Chains A and B, each alone.
Chain A
């Protein structure tokens, strides 16, 4: 065995390499460090926000300042976020480019290294690429645009489509939902606005890519997706950042609205560098017979707190969360799901699989709520945790409230480690211990990964292989 193979702990940098680079900063707009009313004014001026948005932001800042950190249940690590040390708005210009040729060279190089233009040509219906606070590039394929599909940034959304935007903005996730949704409401910039008209089924996924380039920076994108009656869309987001010694904050708000019979599939592969606090609020509103499915995969970041939710508002609406979390040394993946049943015969399904490696900690936190006067609601929750090393940690904190008639919920969770017999068996057949471990872990998540779109499942398997390298201690 070579020296590198003898390392006790996995080399964490391997998978981070793809995103671990940055370019010198050269911004036309910089709101400076710290967060006050002046910061808000600067952002509003730079973005030429309408007055109602300025007012909305200022109210949100007040809420943010009033709300305490949720450390009575959440990780104390939140106290290491110093909100006044961040820069809240950095951009090279508020308007995204429609063609890669117009995108500034360093930004274009960034996305080329991440393979975005290539993927766009290969299989995407539209792409938005956000660089720090604003989208550098945004384009939608002509055929899709002609169907009436709107796919723009949040700034264009609120300016060019106020009649749809205003109706739903902040309705699924109110400003005061939690401290970080309030923060986002105060300083949001970037993110996507999507509207899919009645009956339109967007064949290929729309993709957003979020990139943090600057140090001491906070990214606060705001995404609002409205899918009208009988329409369907798949949205994918990816994210990376270079590794800095200082803390970076990412706090997004994502609101989905599925009208009658609509289907939304929202896929996230989060691979932030290990200095990023990733505190995201994501929630969907599902009307009658509609379906919202969150596929959420968390591999990177220092601390992720994210519990995608669905409010099942219409009869027979369905919500689903499929979640994979991989917590490596020094990481805490605090993820889960919220299912709020608010109509008869609504169903929800939560499947969560987590893997803790080294000193990594994976937490499942969930809420299932079925109030009284509802009939025939069903929830199924399964949480499986795999612990790789002796010092690995996992927690499960579900909360289930059930009332009403003919409703049923079931929750089950298990914790296990990779079976020594399995590893031994595979080694007998000539696999190295590392390969056997990778195979075993891939087997553990396989039934979930299979539900991911092809491109993502291949990527995910590769990431897991890399993360598992050298993890056998």
Chain B
């Protein structure tokens, strides 16, 4: 793709100001000048680089699904304050913005924001580093981005109901570049949910999205990204989160779709008391590959971060987790935690884990853990002894494995939606390993009661901090 270069105009007809055009041209140059990742690049270790298909996908290609049908499918199961719907980067529908504007809140498509709030956009759009390996694709995004929303919440304004955006990939040769920019001023509060999906389950295409969460002093931002691209899509989701003094960010990336999905998430804590919770949850089947790279960047004293990424992998699917906690020399009293847990549902599945630490200060509490294992046979036996068939039993246990993550979403209705998505994904999978003959001899469970530990429990992950 990409011979056609950056899109000179906003998708919805606006040509865009000069700075916008200049940035796009510059990003396009950078994309062309940056080489494709190579196998020996540390940031791409274990990744199947051949799986990255930039192919013959075209930004702005016409979809074949009727608008009304797409709009009908774009419904969230939980109450929300505003909604925007995009298909192949075209804005189809936006609602709720006027009501929010009364409080000074901005909820605009990028096209709309370009006309009404150019200063906000110019100041914040991709102003923060995306540097965990996918720089080339961040540049590609910057060159093409035209769809997505700008959310701006002024000082002391709290929005209780979530704001949602739908992005659809439609047709066989589309490329989309969903953008989400959240700016929460001091003591503002907002929850945003992105739904990413293809019109067809086995859809193809390229998705290259960026989301920036800018959390002001004392502000609270919750961001949930539900990725359900078609099973042949190549996907990039690049996140940069920046938290100021006493701010709190929480992000959850649910990865269910795509053939190759690279997700980068970076939290930079720049003010004392800043907190970032980074959550991930993936269910893989077939030959899906989830490539996750994270960075917890502690630049100043007294900051907190907690990362938990869980992957359940069936068939020949694969997950790569590479995480790093980086504590700057002056960042005393850092409290950072990083945990990657993988559940292999099939002997052919693969989990690669690289949990890293770089600590340049002695007065910290930093721990990390990584575990990979199978469904606990004793627990499965327990369920089977109560008449639950092994397949259902294994699914129940896998759901249990994810509960720890879902539980951490404060909005219980959103949690319920995540649960539904996971149930649907499992329903579409053949859980071959859970067939009775495939489980091998089931050992006798010593205890008569349900084990208190969860599927894969590793205790003693606690640090020795003071």
Contacts and interface: CB of A to CB of B under 8 A. Distances in A.
B373 A400 contact: no
Interface in B20-77: 40-42, 45-46
Interface string B209-242: 0000000000000000000000000000000000
A55 B412 CA distance: 71
Contacts of A390: 329, 332, 361-363
A372 B348 contact: yes
Given A400-B370, A408-B372, A408-B374, A413 B355 contact: yes
A402 B461 contact: no
B363 to A, nearest CB: 6
A404 B347 contact: yes
Interface stretch (A14-22, A83-91, A164-172, A381-389): A381-389
Given A395-B358, A401-B350, A404-B347, A415 B367 contact: yes
A343 to B, nearest CB: 15
Interface in A400-424: 400-417, 419-421
Nearest to A376: B440
Contacts of B370: 398, 400, 409-412
Contacts of A405: 347, 374, 440
Contacts of B464: 384, 414, 416, 419
B363 A417 contact: yes
A400 B362 CA distance: 27
A26 interface: no
A396 B368 contact: yes
A395 B356 contact: yes
B5 interface: no
Contacts of A408: 371-374, 456
A421 B360 CA distance: 22
B143 interface: no
A402 B364 contact: no
Interface in B416-466: 440, 456, 458, 460-466
Contact of B463 (A399, A400, A410, A416): A416
B355 A410 contact: no
Contacts of B45: 399
Contact of A398 (B355, B458, B462): B355
A76 interface: no
A396 B357 contact: yes
A397 interface: yes
B357 A394 contact: yes
Nearest to A365: B356
B369 A72 contact: no
A265 interface: no
Nearest to B322: A399
A411 B366 contact: no
A54 B96 CA distance: 80
B354 interface: yes
A400 B458 contact: no
B294 interface: no
Contacts of A73: 42
B40 A72 contact: yes
Contacts of B456: 408
B278 interface: no
B269 to A, nearest CB: 17
Query: Which range holds the interface residue count of chain A?
Result: 35 or more
Interface in A212-264: none
Contact of B367 (A375, A412, A421): A412
A403 B317 CA distance: 10
A435 interface: no
B372 to A, nearest CB: 4
B351 to A, nearest CB: 5
B353 interface: yes
Contacts of B355: 396, 398, 411, 413
Nearest to B373: A408
B466 A372 contact: no
B466 A419 contact: yes
Where chain A touches its partner, the secondary structure class is: strand
Contacts of A420: 466
Given A408-B372, A420-B466, A398 B367 contact: no
A398 B365 CA distance: 19
A31 to B, nearest CB: 34
Nearest to A378: B373
B342 interface: yes
Contacts of B159: none
Contacts of A393: 358-360
Given A372-B347, A389-B362, A416-B463, A400 B367 contact: no
A402 B359 contact: no
Interface string A7-39: 000000000000000000000000000000000
A2 B350 CA distance: 60
Interface in B360-407: 360-374
B357 A412 contact: no
A395 B359 CA distance: 6
B352 interface: yes
B373 A387 contact: no
A374 to B, nearest CB: 8
A395 B357 contact: yes
Given A400-B353, A402-B344, A412 B374 contact: no
Contact of B372 (A388, A391, A409): A409
B181 interface: no
Given A387-B359, A400-B370, A417 B354 contact: no
Nearest to B346: A405
Given A72-B42, A390-B361, A403-B344, A412 B466 contact: no
A386 B361 CA distance: 11
B42 A400 contact: no
A88 B194 CA distance: 63
A373 interface: yes
A392 interface: yes
Contact of B353 (A399, A406, A407): A399
A372 B360 CA distance: 37
Contacts of A409: 353, 370-373
Interface string A337-364: 0000000000000000000000000000
Contacts of A389: 362
B350 A415 contact: no
A181 B376 CA distance: 42
Contact of A411 (B353, B358, B360): B353
A63 B460 CA distance: 45
Interface in A444-466: none
A85 B362 CA distance: 38
A45 B201 CA distance: 70
B349 interface: yes
Contacts of B462: 414
Given A372-B350, A400-B353, A403-B348, A415 B366 contact: yes
B352 A400 contact: yes
A395 B332 CA distance: 16
Nearest to A356: B362
A401 B352 contact: yes
Nearest to B456: A408
A238 B371 CA distance: 36
A412 B353 contact: no
A387 B372 contact: no
Task: With a 10 A CB-CB cut-off, give which of B332, B351, B358, B359 has the most chain A CB atoms.
Answer: B359
A447 to B, nearest CB: 13
Nearest to A422: B466
Contacts of A419: 464, 466
Given A402-B372, A409-B371, 11 more contacts: A397-B354, A397-B356, A400-B352, A403-B349, A404-B344, A406-B440, A408-B371, A408-B456, A411-B355, A413-B368, A415-B366
21 contacts: A73-B42, A372-B347, A389-B362, A390-B363, A394-B359, A396-B355, A396-B356, A398-B356, A398-B370, A400-B351, A401-B351, A402-B352, A403-B344, A403-B347, A403-B348, A410-B458, A411-B368, A412-B369, A412-B370, A412-B461, A414-B464
Shortest beta-carbon contacts, A-B, top 7: A387-B362, A416-B464, A405-B347, A408-B373, A402-B372, A396-B357, A414-B463
